[in-house]
């Protein structure tokens, strides 16, 4: 029986593609309102793990619970009400406006007539404001830069008003300012549980409550950033020598990368 406080629970998850084991015996939980980051080298299975959780893939073994229910027992709309996703594989080629894209975030809340209510429009504008895109509402999505598109997808996920958000490398395409703005926003969101894959270890350290480290499809470490992000772990996982220091001004931990070794 799942505890009420667990929003995501992954139990003995296995995933293979053409007999190649991509994920191996993965088990972890994410509690309500927690921000959990998944780190690991390219090809370690971060995105695949997230894709199993949001049902892009079907696991070859194990079970995944979202708010206590097996994800394969839920309808798409029920899942969308609980879980919003910002994935890496969005490739919109047709001429929609920014507001059209964000409106899709309200789909799970719509009735048979499918029209956006005043309430929906408020949520859409609020989501656009929170990513700084309110002035772009009527702009063509195709005319936006990669970073602006990423912010629109984020707004769409926020408009979904679900309690859990899954983000696959959300800071991709963003300049450092928007990377920090986005992570601040994610960190400060109230009553939202976040599971995301992150490349930048400093962002992971500053904004995640907990970090899961994946290597070759297995979880090799899990815990609070201070305990997980050690010189030894970074060496083992990324083949990079580094120094992990505590900054004097704000006492935040900081990872400085020194050199790569083979």
Partner 1 sequence: MHKVNKKKLTLIIVLSAALLASLVLAINIGAVNINPKIIFSVIVNHMTGREIFQTTWDTSQDSIIWTIRFPRVLVAGMVGAGLALAGVFMQALTKNALADPYILGISSGASTGAVVSILIGTIPFIGKIYLPAGAFAGALLTSILVFVISGAGIKGRSANLVLVGMAISALFTALTDFIIFVNPDSKKLGSVLFWMTGSFASIEWMDCIPAVSALLGGIVVSIVINRELDAMLMGEELAKNSGVNTTLIKVIIIIASTLLTGIMVSMSGVIGFIGFVVPHVTRGLIGARHKNLLPVALLIGAIFMIWADVLSRTIIAPEELPVGIITAMVGAPFFIVMLRKNKYSFGK
Q: Which is nearer to partner 1, 89 or 232 (CB)?
A: 89
The single residue among 108, 127, 208, 211 that binds partner 1, judged by CB under 8 A, is: 108
Q: Does 91 bind partner 1 (CB under 8 A)?
A: yes
Judged by beta carbon, residue 150 or residue 242, the one nearer partner 1 is: 150
User: Which H or E run contains 23?
Assistant: strand 20-31
- Could you tell me which stretch among 10-18, 29-37, 88-96, 250-258 binds partner 1 (CB under 8 A)? 88-96
Query: Which of 148, 147, 156 has the alpha carbon at shortest distance from 174?
Result: 147
With CB under 8 A as the contact rule, which of the stretches 24-32, 41-49, 70-78, 224-232 interacts with partner 1? 70-78
Q: Could you say which residues in the range 119-148 bind partner 1, by CB under 8 A?
A: 137-138, 140
Our finding on whether 150 is near partner 1 (CB under 8 A) is: no
* Location of structure tokens 């950033």: 225
Q: If binding is defined by CB under 8 A, does position 89 make contact with partner 1?
A: yes
Helix (H, G, I), strand (E, B) or coil at 204: helix
- Under the binding rule (CB under 8 A), the answer on residue 77 touching partner 1 is yes
Dist. CA 205–CA 254, nearest whole Å: 8
What is the number of alpha carbons within 13 Å of residue 75 lying toward its C-beta? 3
Contacts of 208 (CB under 8 A, 6+ apart): 35, 36, 37, 198, 225
Separation between Cα atoms, residue 31 and residue 51, nearest integer Å: 19
Give dist(CA 23, CA 174) in Å, integer. 29
Q: Which positions lie near partner 1, rule CB under 8 A?
A: 54-56, 75-81, 84-85, 87, 89-97, 99-101, 104-105, 107-108, 110, 114, 137-138, 140, 156, 160
């Amino acid at each position: 029986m799942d505890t009420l406080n667990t929003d995501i629970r992954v139990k003995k998850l296995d995933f293979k593609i053409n007999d190649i084991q991509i994920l191996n015996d993965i088990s972890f939980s994410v509690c309500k309102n927690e921000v959990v980051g998944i780190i690991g080298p390219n090809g370690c299975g971060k995105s695949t793990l997230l894709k199993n959780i949001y049902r892009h893939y079907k696991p070859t073994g194990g079970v995944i619970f979202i708010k206590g229910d097996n994800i394969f027992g839920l309808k798409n709309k029920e899942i969308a009400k609980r879980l919003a996703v910002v994935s890496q594989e969005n490739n919109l080629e047709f001429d929609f406006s920014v507001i059209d894209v964000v409106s899709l975030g309200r789909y799970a809340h719509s009735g048979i007539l499918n029209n956006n209510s005043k309430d929906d429009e408020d949520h859409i504008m609020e989501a656009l404001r929170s990513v700084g895109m309110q002035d772009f509402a009527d702009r063509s999505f195709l005319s936006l830069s990669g970073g602006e598109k990423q912010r629109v997808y984020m707004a769409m996920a926020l408009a979904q008003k679900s309690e859990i958000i899954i983000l696959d490398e959300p800071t991709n395409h963003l300049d450092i300012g928007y990377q920090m703005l986005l992570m601040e926003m994610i960190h400060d969101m109230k009553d939202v549980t976040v599971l995301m894959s992150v490349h930048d270890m400093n962002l992971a350290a500053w904004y995640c409550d907990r970090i899961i480290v994946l290597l070759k499809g297995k979880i090799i470490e899990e815990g609070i950033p201070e305990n997980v992000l050690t010189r030894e772990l970074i060496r083992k996982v990324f083949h990079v020598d580094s120094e992990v220091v505590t900054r004097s001004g704000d006492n935040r931990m900081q990872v400085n990368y020194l050199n790569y070794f083979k």
